[in-house]
Amino acid sequence: MSSGGSGGAGGQPATHSLAFRVMRLCRPTLHVDNSPLKFDPCDLLFGEDLFDDPIAASHLPRLLGGQSNASALDPADLSYRGRFLLQQPTDSLGLPGLLVLPQAFGAIYLGETFCSYISINNSSNFEVRDVVIKAEIQTERQRLLLLDTSKSPVESIRAGGRYDFIVEHDVKELGAHTLVCTALYTDGDNERKYLPQFFKFMVSNPLSVRTKVRNVKDTTFLEACIENHTKSDLYMDQVEFEPAQYWSATVLRAEYHSSEPSSLLSETFKEPILIKSGGGIYNYLYQLKFSSPDNAQFKAESSKILGKLQITWRTNLGEPGRLQTQHILGNPVTRKDIELHAVEMPSVIMLEKSFLVGLNLINLVDRVLGPFQVWVSESGSPDEKAVVINGLQTMTLGEVQPHSSLKFQLSLIAVKHGIQKISGITVYDTVEKKTYESLFEMEIYVDLE
Amino acid sequence: MDAPESESPPVSSSPITSISASAVDDPLSSPYASLNSHCHDLSALQDLACRGAWRTILDKVARSRSLSLLSRPHEHLIYLTFNVLALVKLRRFADAQQEFETLDDDLGSKQYLFESFPDQYPNQKPGSMVPFALRWLHAHLPFTLGDRQLSLDRLYVLLHFIRDTKLSRNRDSVTEISIDLWKKRETFVINSIVSHHLTLKEFKVCLYLLKSETGKTEDPFMVSKLGYVQMQYGDLEGAKRSFELVEKMVEKSEGEDANLNLKNLVGRNKALIYLVGKDYVSAVREYEECMERDASDFVAINNKALCLMYLRDLSDSIKVLESALERVPTVALNETLVVNLCSMYELAYVNHADIKKTLSTWIARVAPDDFDTSCTRI
């Protein structure tokens, strides 16, 4: 799959002594042979049950005497028995450990390293001198010089000779790329000639990462879904979440309990994380915690950026690729001003018998809040509420000092039995005119008489 | 004349059978005296197969059939097996399928059992005369004709056949050798299955099957293959652990006297680790040590050439492969090696068609019948 690329622009008479040959040099692959067609002679020369017979079995070694299940093939042996007889039982796997050069240019993805073997051949009958070679990558945005021999030009390339080099480039842009190879040389007629050759390739996106952020109380959970858009399976070598300042992250993994007994083997061969080609996905879950100096305002601003995901994947023979996501943003955290907790609950709640619930209202901010009004709001459903306030429907509470709390009791009555919910408790700040709903919910069991 | 003492007595030990057994055991008249007494001209067939003369085998089978040289049922089956194998080796898959159509669909049918021909096999223990390779070829053929799924199904059925009917037998009723052979056949079938899954890139299935295989047999080669699979999908750390395990196994079992093959296995594995770490110089050194120990280690030769290429030394990489073809052609003449050499030619020469033609001509003179010449991409 080596190529000589398209020639230079302009009306140049194409009589060049030199020509570029280019081959993409990604890592080789291990050859897999689906039909090694190698056999144990016993499977061909004799019926499969012949050696059930003890007499036949006793003769087997002699019958096979001429064979060498010889492991090392004698080079003096001019037969092709290695293509016909199994040397090792594992030969039938067809995975001899033979490496194969890349046979096609293949696809190139963002985050990979483009590596190429470049050979300049002198196919003329004359020596060529003072060769200045340049190789660069051109994209829409920039030109990157990969090789430049101007400071020390190649003195000569003999007739039929070659000059080789290998270039590497970390692919950081999407879209069209051109590898431009140029040679400036003095040919056999003592003319200074210029040979440009262009090799085009496209770079596409190998993965997409979708994130979901959920807040549960004080913990933020980040779910990252990685989808593979490439043509090969990707081995996830390292996927790490790098949290932003003041954030800390722990990855949450399911405990994998293998049904097989643990052994040296099962520890050596852990289950790999492999994302299937062409749309396969894998999910990662991170638990994030925010901890910073106490300034609440500071908290609100800096908590928006959660961090970045660093992904390193590998394909055949460990060919690596690396990408980093953009900043992952958290949900705008509306830090709560107040919290409502139950501190006292009766052990038994009877249907249509009032009961007292002890509640604690906590002021989380630096200023005085309140006075408050507390009521149980109507639920939106056509059904009657299961638990209602017994007595005055609205309770008035006084002010609460900064970072301090206020205990109070609500008298409630359950009008339905069974498992019911205390919900809809609404707290209204009469000064700031702010309504706090859904601060508190609890399930209770309502007994019949 | 004694019956072999080490074997357990035949199951049906009537006096008549014992006497006949003794008579049969005369080395001069025993059907097991030699390959040829077992089956007409069998050693010639074997020899042709070793030389890769598959077209000659086809002729020989055709001639033997037309001249009615095969007198006993099992001889027909053996010749048929060689015929099918030759056709498959020559990639004449449709013709191989036709051969199969001359057989009963069920290879377990009565006509393929010794006991169905008491006149021909008066003393033979009952059982199947079908060469096992024929069963395997029957499973393999659909894949060659484009139906991989059917082949996989048949291979799994074959695996269950081996496990349920052959390996589960009472150890007292069969010989050690027979059990041993069936265990090898079980491994053979599992390996074929893994090979298919590997081509389909179903790596996790491969790992699962290989893991259970390595659990059964302490085979350093098998553990190495596991390492190759891990390397193929990119788990370098996993591969490294596998190769370390191989090294431990080899040290433990044979120590310094480990035979050539094992030493080279360990060496080649080390080289692969250097290679994926881009330390091509060390990889070359390991491969050269392998080649010094065993000049016909064509895996080391091929891989060394590739390392040289990654070291920007295209000329030497070509030299390594060309010299191997000259020195040890019967070992080095391998389709993958030729593919690599041709890739190198295409890179090294603007007019590579000429040099590939030269190679192709040489191959035509030297190669066995089953060599796939499409690898030169001419």
Residues of B within 8 A of A23 (CB-CB) are: 343, 346-347
Taking residues A99-120, report their average pLDDT: 94
pLDDT band at B2 (very low <50, low <70, confident <90, very high): very low
Q: A44 vs B131: CB contact, 8 Å cut-off?
A: yes
Q: B302 vs A270: CB contact, 8 Å cut-off?
A: no
To the nearest whole Å, the CA of B195 is away from the closest chain A CA by 5
User: pLDDT per residue over B106-118, tens digit each?
Assistant: 888 888 998 889 8
Residues of B within 8 A of A101 (CB-CB) are: 306, 309, 339-340, 343-344
DSSP, res A32? -
- The percentage of residues in chain B with a pLDDT greater than 70, rounded to a whole number, is 91
pLDDT reading at A244 higher than 50: yes
DSSP three-state, residue A418? strand
User: pLDDT per residue over A186-231, tens digit each?
Assistant: 988 899 999 999 999 999 999 999 999 988 877 889 999 999 999 9
pLDDT at A13: 54
pLDDT at A69: 45
DSSP three-state, residue B13? coil
Q: What is the pTM of this model?
A: 0.81
User: Using an 8 Å Cβ cutoff, are A31 and A99 in contact?
Assistant: yes
Q: A79 vs B51: CB contact, 8 Å cut-off?
A: yes
pLDDT at A364: 86
Please tell me the distance from the alpha carbon of residue A316 to that of residue A27, in angstroms, as a whole number. Answer: 7
Both tokens of A192, joined, read 């200074």
pLDDT band at A268 (very low <50, low <70, confident <90, very high): low
User: Using an 8 Å Cβ cutoff, are B51 and B45 in contact?
Assistant: no
pLDDT reading at A298 higher than 70: no
Q: B235 vs A235: CB contact, 8 Å cut-off?
A: yes
User: Using an 8 Å Cβ cutoff, are A170 and A178 in contact?
Assistant: no
Q: B343 vs A233: CB contact, 8 Å cut-off?
A: no
Angle (nearest 5°) at CA B224 between B221 and B230: 150
Please tell me the distance from the alpha carbon of residue A224 to that of residue A425, in angstroms, as a whole number. Answer: 35
**Taking CA atoms, what residue in A is nearest to B216?**
A265
Please tell me the distance from the alpha carbon of residue B101 to that of residue B104, in angstroms, as a whole number. Answer: 7
User: Using an 8 Å Cβ cutoff, are B283 and B271 in contact?
Assistant: yes
Q: A43 vs B339: CB contact, 8 Å cut-off?
A: no
Residues of A within 8 A of B226 (CB-CB) are: 269
Q: Could you say which of B30, B33, B330 has the minimum Cβ distance to residue A80?
A: B330
User: Mean pLDDT across chain B, nearest whole number?
Assistant: 89
pLDDT at B5: 41
Q: Would an 8 Å CB–CB cutoff place B336 in contact with chain A?
A: yes
Residues sharing a CB contact under 8 Å with residue B308, sequence separation 6 or more, in sequence order: B280, B284, B314, B316, B317, B320
pLDDT reading at B27 higher than 50: yes
pLDDT reading at A302 higher than 80: no
Q: Could you say which of A21, A58, A74 has the minimum Cβ distance to residue B347?
A: A21
Q: Could you say which of A47, A51, A232 has the minimum Cβ distance to residue B175?
A: A51
Q: A51 vs B178: CB contact, 8 Å cut-off?
A: yes
Domain ranges of chain B: 8-146
Question: Tell me, what's the ipTM?
Answer: 0.88
Residues of A within 8 A of B89 (CB-CB) are: 37
pLDDT at A383: 63
Other CB atoms within a 10 A radius of the CB of residue B19 amount to 11
Q: Would an 8 Å CB–CB cutoff place B85 in contact with chain A?
A: yes
Q: Could you say which of A72, A87, A99 has the minimum Cβ distance to residue B303?
A: A99
**Taking CA atoms, what residue in A is nearest to B268?**
A97
Q: Would an 8 Å CB–CB cutoff place B346 in contact with chain A?
A: yes
pLDDT at A12: 47
More confidently predicted of B197 and B377: B197
Q: B309 vs A117: CB contact, 8 Å cut-off?
A: yes
pLDDT at B226: 95
pLDDT at B130: 94
Question: Which is it for the CA torsion A54, A58, A64, A69, positive or negative?
Answer: positive
* For residue B368, cis peptide bond before it (omega within 30 degrees of 0): no
pLDDT band at A54 (very low <50, low <70, confident <90, very high): confident
Question: Which is it for the CA torsion A82, A83, A86, A91, positive or negative?
Answer: positive
Q: Would an 8 Å CB–CB cutoff place B274 in contact with chain A?
A: no
User: Mean pLDDT across chain A, nearest whole number?
Assistant: 86
Residues of B within 8 A of A31 (CB-CB) are: 336
Residues of B within 8 A of A87 (CB-CB) are: 261
Q: Could you say which of A2, A52, A92 has the minimum Cβ distance to residue B347?
A: A2
User: Using an 8 Å Cβ cutoff, are B369 and B52 in contact?
Assistant: yes
pLDDT at A4: 59
Q: Could you say which of B46, B231, B306 has the minimum Cβ distance to residue A318?
A: B231
To the nearest whole Å, the CA of A5 is away from the closest chain B CA by 12
pLDDT reading at A1 higher than 70: no
Q: A80 vs B52: CB contact, 8 Å cut-off?
A: yes
User: pLDDT per residue over B210-235, tens digit each?
Assistant: 998 988 888 999 999 999 999 999 99
Taking residues B67-93, report their average pLDDT: 94
**Pairing mode, strands A108-109 and A192-204:** parallel
pLDDT at A215: 84
Scored b (16 or more CB within 10 A) or e, A80-99 reads bbbbbbbbbbbbbbbbbbbb
Q: Would an 8 Å CB–CB cutoff place B195 in contact with chain A?
A: yes
Q: A79 vs B228: CB contact, 8 Å cut-off?
A: no
To the nearest whole Å, the CA of A401 is away from the closest chain B CA by 59
Question: Which is it for the CA torsion A186, A187, A188, A191, positive or negative?
Answer: negative
To the nearest whole Å, the CA of A11 is away from the closest chain B CA by 23
**Taking CA atoms, what residue in B is nearest to A72?**
B261
Q: Would an 8 Å CB–CB cutoff place B46 in contact with chain A?
A: yes
The backbone region for A304, taken as left when phi is positive above 0, alpha when psi lies in -120 to 50, beta otherwise, is alpha
